[in-house]
Amino acid sequence: MTSDPISTTREDWLAAALQILIEEGASAVKVLTLAQRLGGSRSSFYWFFKDRDALLAALLEYWSARNTKAITDRASKPAASVSQAVLHVFECWADPALFDAKLDFAVREWARRAPDIREAVHRADAERLSALSAMFARFCPDPKEAIVRARTLYFMQIGYYALDVQETNAQRGALLEHYVEVFSGEQPSAPDLHWFMQIIDKAHPEGATQVG
């Protein structure tokens, strides 16, 4: 272990690794590459991570703590109606500060080549679907219907991310009411729609966003 001054932080290494994971895939996340990107030395890396596997584990932990937690937290928020509950979950799709779609897709690509990551993704999907099913079950007396609504909402959104569908805020707003009605079985209120569109406009002031 070198005693050279440390000019980087653990967060620096993790942020750089996340960027490479998203841009180039897990196989490109290498200590030397990260050191070159950060302008630091490889020895600095080992102040914060035992080895590359420890860094990869930290990436997976970050993904779960951010993306899965965002969905489970929003699904458990108190709601006056099922349509309002659905809009709470839609916050994840509307605000990239809550749910990082590019990171989610990168981890899924990683999972195609790594059985242990595939298992982690399967566990995350199960946890997310369980939270969504429980959310619908609060308003739906039929357990099977709650499961189907949860699957329809979740699988459709993951599919939209995979297709990289893009639309403007205006296009999203024009369809929002109908999306919510399809997923929830009821029309959302005007105040709830207005509240949600404010979230979209704040998260995407440039006017373009991914489909939710």
Rounded Cα–Cα distance for residues 176 and 95 (Å): 15
**Amino acid occupying residue 70:** A
Structure token pair of residue 68: 């899965």
Q: How sure is the predictor about 162, in pLDDT bands with cuts at 50, 70 and 90?
A: confident
How much is the pTM? 0.89
User: What is the C-alpha to C-alpha distance for residues 16 and 37, in angstroms, rounded to an integer?
Assistant: 8
Higher pLDDT pick, 10 / 211 = 10
Show Cβ contacts of residue 167 under 8 Å, excluding neighbours closer than 6 positions: 208, 209, 210, 211
Relative to beta strand 166-168, strand 208-210 is antiparallel
Q: How is residue 130 written in tokens?
A: 């369980």
User: What is the rounded CA–CA span in Å between residue 189 and residue 172?
Assistant: 16
CA–centroid distance for 7 within its chain: 30
Q: What is the pLDDT of residue 2?
A: 42
Q: State whether residue 171 is helix, strand or coil.
A: helix
Mean pLDDT of 104-133: 97
Q: What Rg value do the Cα atoms of the chain yield, rounded?
A: 20
* Rounded CA separation 174/170 (Å): 6
Give the residue extent of every domain in the chain: 1-49, 68-210
pLDDT value, residue 172: 79
The yes-or-no verdict on residue 1 having pLDDT over 70 is: no
In this structure, whether the domain defined by 1-49 belongs to CATH 1.20.120 is answered with no
Q: Please tell me the predicted confidence (pLDDT) of residue 211.
A: 44
Looking at residue 48, the DSSP 8-state letter turns out to be: T
Long-range contacts of the stretch 114-118 (C-beta < 8 A, 24+): 114/26, 117/26, 117/60
Cα dist. 117→35, 78, 181 in Å? Answer: 25, 32, 35
Q: Which residues pair with 209 in a beta bridge?
A: 167
Going by the DSSP 8-state scheme, the letter that residue 41 receives in this structure is: -
Q: How far apart are CA 81 and CA 66, in angstroms?
A: 26
For residues 19-41, average pLDDT: 94
Q: Hey, what are 145's tokens?
A: 């219907």
Higher pLDDT, 204 or 15: 15
Tell me which residue has tokens 């302008």: 39
Q: Which amino acid is at 19?
A: Q
